[in-house]
Amino acid sequence: LVVGCGGNCTADVVKEAERVDSSQFDAILSVVPYYNKPSQEGIYQHYSAIAKASPVPVILYNVPGRTGVNMTADTTLRLAADHPGIVAIKEASGNINQMDDIIKHKSDSFSVISGDDGITFPLITLGAVGVISVIGNAFPKEFAKMTRLALEGDFDAARMIHHRFTDLFSLLFVDGNPAGVKCLLHAMGFIENELRLPLVPTRITTYEKIRKVLDSLN
């Protein structure tokens, strides 16, 4: 069980990390600081402080599309080498070359986890160990099966499942996340299609496209 513990004020994140109950959580997932766009050295110092304070292992989370700044492969590898408590990264930069660079040069004790459903299958073929998924909230059994098959080297079977969901991968982000996956879960009959402002439900056109793909999957 992993708890989110991130922000753009290092002191506040450190205080939050220090309070994590190690009997309840296996790790923390900490996003690259957003909005204030720190330098690579600032990102390094931010995570160094968190790693020193956290009573549980730390998983880095690189998602420049949301934070406004990319953590480079060099910074990731430097953090992994300098801090044994930093054990993995959820990589959602969308840059396959960057992810491959991390996988190529990392130690065996550091793991790369896909943060993007659409590239999970190819990323596993390069050496990633799994995924922290969006679509997995709606199709946990199927997406977990694809991941396991890919990790076992059964790429043909994994590719077939991957291709079943490629249309949904993009549709779930047309009107933002988590609006897309909540729309999907609503169409499946699990939840109400409600979000807290400033997030709003998907457009009707997106909803109908998601329903159409869902009908084809069924």
pLDDT digits (tens, 9 = 90+) for 181-196: 999 999 999 999 999 9
Asked whether the predicted pLDDT for residue 203 surpasses 90, the reply is yes
pTM: 0.94
130-131/2-4 β-pairing: unpaired
31 bridge partner residues: 61
147, 131 Cβ separation under 8 angstroms: yes
**Cα–Cα distance for residue pair 29/111, rounded to 1 Å:** 13
The whole-chain average pLDDT of the chain stands at 97
90 is catalytic: yes
Compute CA distances 118 → 33, 82, 114, 145, 148, whole Å: 24, 31, 9, 15, 16
Which residue in the list 90, 106, 182, 209 is annotated as catalytic?
90
Domains and CATH numbers, the chain: 2-132 (3.20.20.70), 155-218 (no CATH)
Length of the chain: 218
Which residue in the list 35, 37, 44, 61 is annotated as catalytic?
61
b/e string for 76-102 if b means 16 or more Cβ within 10 A? bbbbbeebeebbbbbbbbebeebbbbb
Band of pLDDT at residue 67, cut at 50, 70 and 90: very high
User: pLDDT tens digits for 76-112?
Assistant: 999 999 999 999 999 999 999 999 999 999 999 999 9
Band of pLDDT at residue 218, cut at 50, 70 and 90: confident
User: pLDDT tens digits for 25-49?
Assistant: 999 999 999 999 999 999 999 999 9
